[in-house]
Amino acid sequence: MGSVNYLIETENLTKEYGDLTAVRDLNLKVREGEIFGFLGPNGAGKTTSIRMMVGLLAPTDGRVKIGGNRGVETDRTVGVCPQEIVLWEELTSYENIYFMGKMYDVPDRELKERVSRILEDLKLEEKRDEPASELSGGMKRRLNLGMSIVHEPDIVVLDEPSAGLDPQSRYSVWEYIKGLKEERGRCIILTTHLMEEADRLSDRVAIIDRGELLVVDTPENLKKSVGEGDSIRIELQNKDRIEEALELLGEDEEVIETNRVDEKIVLRAMDAVGKMSRFTGKLEDAGCEISDVTVSRTNTLEDVFIHLTGKGLRS
């Protein structure tokens, strides 16, 4: 087995804003040619982490190494697609990408070919001569993505790449992101609070919460780490009984784990479907009114997050 080439390495990377520690002692190694996902709730420190990793934000403490060199030059090495859409509204789709390419000194003949290819790949060819101001939100986000990779960077940073997109546009963006890796071997770093996005796209996922790295592994290994059993979500009509219900279910020998997530009871048990009446019966006997019950027999990355933190990704 060959040696692993790391494109980005961080050592105890920390960012403080006064009394607030946004990121604490981040130690990561990102490999060449992989999609590396940062998964966590809003405000967890994902964006701050990647901005420090690619040299867009100075850390309070710690170091970053890219391509074997201390420090970072963010010209041709890195392309960034921010969460906030940044366009020249009066320019056309073609002109937005072309102008960004000129800023990176891409040769003119080569640039024209790249812009046309990007527009086609992102399904924006029909909008090439329309002002950006007339594009839909999903089209603007795709155009922003095209602008971030026109100079063919080694590292592409995507901050919440499908935020606000409808399902069709989201899947289109996901396919394009996978193509950037598979066809061109780019290293892609993305932040997301969407477990499906992290699961579908990432070769490895870093789960982060409150500025601290909790775990890094492949999505499959992370889901296996939760252990066996099914996940059951129970919603009560009387929310003031949730803590009582959690204590009652936690005493049951068939229950592996219980948590309160988004005002719901989340428990894990073997053969949850077969034991459902056992659990709901206990709650009903105690006077807890159940309004909804759902069962998942396949672990998700949200189950991993709940297992690690006792709360949901949206909490």
Q: Select the more confidently predicted residue: 70 or 42.
A: 42
Q: What is the mean pLDDT of residues 102-129?
A: 94
What's the pLDDT band for 1 if we cut at 50, 70, 90?
very low
All CATH 3.40.50.300 domain ranges of the chain, comma separated, are: 6-222
3-state secondary structure of 238: coil
pLDDT, tens only, 31-59? 988 999 999 988 899 999 999 998 889 99
pLDDT at 201 exceeding the cut of 90: yes
pLDDT at 2 exceeding the cut of 80: no
All CATH 3.30.70.980 domain ranges of the chain, comma separated, are: 228-298
Strands across the sheet containing 61-66:
20-31, 6-17, 61-66, 69-70
Report the C-alpha gap between 14 and 303 in whole angstroms.
28
Percent share of the chain, pLDDT over 90: 71
pLDDT, tens only, 212-254? 999 999 999 999 998 888 999 999 999 999 999 999 999 999 9
Cβ contact 241:287 at 8 Å: yes
What's the pLDDT band for 182 if we cut at 50, 70, 90?
confident
| Domain made up of 228-298: CATH architecture | 2-Layer Sandwich (3.30)
| Lowest model confidence (mean pLDDT) among 89-93, 128-132, 135-139 | 135-139
pLDDT, tens only, 268-306? 999 888 999 999 999 999 999 999 999 988 889 999 999
The reported pLDDT for the residue numbered 162 is 87
The reported pLDDT for the residue numbered 55 is 86
Asked if the 6-222 domain carries CATH number 2.40.170.20, the reply is: no
Nearest to 78 by CA among 98, 99, 104: 104
> Dmax of the chain from CA atoms?
75
| Lowest model confidence (mean pLDDT) among 71-75, 94-98, 99-103 | 71-75
The torsion of the CA quartet 153, 187, 114, 76, rounded to 10 degrees, works out to 0
